[in-house]
Amino acid sequence: MTSNSLNIKNSIEKDVLEWFLDNGIDEILAHEPVNKTSAVAPPLSAPSPVSPPSSSHEPLMGTAQALIEARALAKQAQTLEDLQKTIADFNGLPVKKTAMNMVFCDGNPKADVMVIGEAPGADEDRQGKPFVGASGQLLDVILKRIGLTRSAQNSHEATYISNILNWRPPGNRTPTPDEMKIALPFIERHIQLVSPKILVLVGNTPMKTLLNTKEGIKKMRGKWHTYQTITPDFGTLDHEIFALPTFHPAFLLRNPYEKKTVWQDMILLQEKRKDLGLLS
Ligand code: URA
């Protein structure tokens, strides 16, 4: 290839990459491109490959082994800094490999109210902080209406925020059941170390994971539940932690008429803070 044709090729590739980025395509989900406009439809029942390709979210060390390690490592963490480093070093969750940054927490760890979401999205992955994109901005507005902010120094007015999964799943897919299982000891240790009075669980993933239920958010929201540690050998909590499931702010962005429902949940939260003497 002449240097002139090489320059033209590079410039076309650069234009194509820029076009991808402009259109929000910022990651590769498969090694080979798939032409979805191809006129040739795949056979209805493709022959099974001799050895099936491993799924991209299969834990490298196997779920059982990853779970054993996650439990042992999480239990050893004595401080939030320990836990953050432990999660950063843990290799049992392959989503770590596709994520840009680990997302551990934001807000005041002394807060009475800890908010737990599902997993970082693209903005959170870029900035290394939970709930900083559009849904995070809506979450902040909702919390501010009841006097809670991430930056408050006073524990009664502060919030602390984290997620079930500390790494962004590729393409923002929902964490798999295996990922939730493996991440559970880390978020449970996180809760133990922060020791909040109240957990606000936004969306199905944190609710199902931490309340150990198969029920959906529509059935579980609007009432109080008691959070109890699920991971074996983690001991008991030194005080009751009240848990309030509510809709995820990303769901509210798609279904704005449900904001009134979340407002009802925020009224419950205010009542609980008042009952517990946490309103300053
Ligand atoms: N959605 C979540 O559940 N968590 C985040 O941090 C961002 C979006």
Q: What is the DSSP string of 129-147?
A: SSS-SHHHHHHHHHHHHTT
- Is the CB of 169 within 6 Å of ligand 1? no
131 lines ligand 1 (CB under 6 A): yes
Neighbours of 254 (CB within 10 A): 9
Taking residues 153-177, what's their average pLDDT?
A: 97
Query: Cβ(163) to ligand 1 under 6 A?
Result: yes
- Across the range 121-137, mean pLDDT stands at 98
- Tell how far the Cα of 115 is from the centroid of ligand 1, in angstroms: 10
Q: What is the pLDDT of residue 43?
A: 38
b/e sequence 137-162, b meaning 16+ C-beta within 10 Å: ebbbebbeebebebebeebbbbbbbb
Name the one residue in this structure whose structure tokens are 């902010």. 149
Residue 46 has pLDDT above 50, yes or no: no
Residue 50: its pLDDT value, please?
37
Q: Which of the four pLDDT bands, split at 50, 70 and 90, describes residue 64?
A: very high
pLDDT of residue 4: 67
What number does CATH give the domain 63-275? 3.40.470.10
Residue pair 244/208 in contact (Cβ under 8 Å)? The answer is: no
Lowest mean pLDDT among 96-110, 185-199, 206-220, 228-242: 228-242
Q: How far apart are CA 253 and CA 174, in angstroms?
A: 17
The burial class, CB within 10 Å (0-12 / 13-18 / 19+), for 187 is: buried
pLDDT band at 3 (very low <50, low <70, confident <90, very high): low
| Residue 262 pLDDT greater than 80, yes or no | yes
Tell me the residue length of the chain.
280
Q: What angle do CA 139, 143, 144 make, to 5 degrees?
A: 115
Residues near 94 by Cβ (< 8 Å), separated by ≥ 6? 56, 57, 58, 59, 60
Model confidence, pTM: 0.81
Mean pLDDT (whole number) for 265-272: 98
Domain limits, the chain: 63-275
Distance of CA 175 to the CA centre of its chain: 8
If one counts every other C-beta atom within 10 angstroms of the C-beta of residue 220, the result is 19
| Token reading at 79 | 């401080």
C-alpha to C-alpha distance for 96 and 59, rounded to whole angstroms: 10
Average pLDDT over residues 133-144: 98
Candidates 190, 235, 233; CA nearest to 82 is 190
**Where is pLDDT greater, at 147 or 39?**
147
| Residue 16 pLDDT > 80 | no
* pLDDT number for residue 250: 98
Mutate to test the pocket of ligand 1, among 106, 135, 167, 251 (most ligand atoms within 8 A of CB): 135
Query: Residue 61: its pLDDT value, please?
Result: 77
Residues 127-137 have a mean pLDDT of 98
Look at 27-36, 173-182, 223-232 and tell me which has the smallest mean pLDDT. Answer: 27-36
Of 47-61, 135-149, 200-214, give the lowest mean pLDDT range: 47-61
Pick the range with the lowest mean pLDDT from 44-58, 131-145, 159-173, 188-202: 44-58
